Amino acid sequence: MKTAIIWKDGMKFEGSVDDHIVPMDAKSPLGKDSGASPKELVAMGLGGCTAMDVIALLKKYKQPPANFRVDVEIIPSTGSHPIVFEKAILTFVVDGAVDAEKINEAVSLSQTKYCGVSAMLAKAFPIEYHVILNGKEIGKGSAKF
């Protein structure tokens, strides 16, 4: 994998990989908040990686959700710089006729075997997860690679 980061102006950059362009910017007063910050992109990468695993596994299990999302909460360090991620909390929110055992299994497999982003980041800080099915918490755990 190769990517390029191109400075546009101020604190705005464009990241490119293949034919995909992702805008990045800093928050005010340094930037104009015209794109996600690099740390926000890391958080989105974490959520996106595990979301893709879980949906792929649910398809394999023939358990299509009506709705699905992963909320990613990052707890930052406080005090001196650099500010880093101290902990991530992933909340898998699933609606529909999905078997509780299957969604818990899919999330667990993602967070212990398949998600490469979780595997990398779990070496730097703890990643916890919760599984919410049709409004009720049915599982929780932590990334273990």
Domain boundary assignment for the chain: 1-36, 38-142
Span 51-96, pLDDT tens digits: 999 999 999 999 999 999 999 999 999 999 999 999 999 999 999 9
With cut-offs at 50, 70 and 90, classify the pLDDT of residue 141: very high
- Nearest-angstrom CA–CA distance, 135 and 76: 27
- Nearest-angstrom CA–CA distance, 45 and 105: 21
- Nearest-angstrom CA–CA distance, 90 and 40: 14
User: Looking at residue 108, what is its pLDDT?
Assistant: 98
Q: What would the CATH number be for the domain defined by 38-142?
A: 3.30.300.20
With cut-offs at 50, 70 and 90, classify the pLDDT of residue 128: very high
Q: How many beta carbons lie within 10 A of that of residue 46, not counting itself?
A: 24
- Nearest-angstrom CA–CA distance, 143 and 123: 10
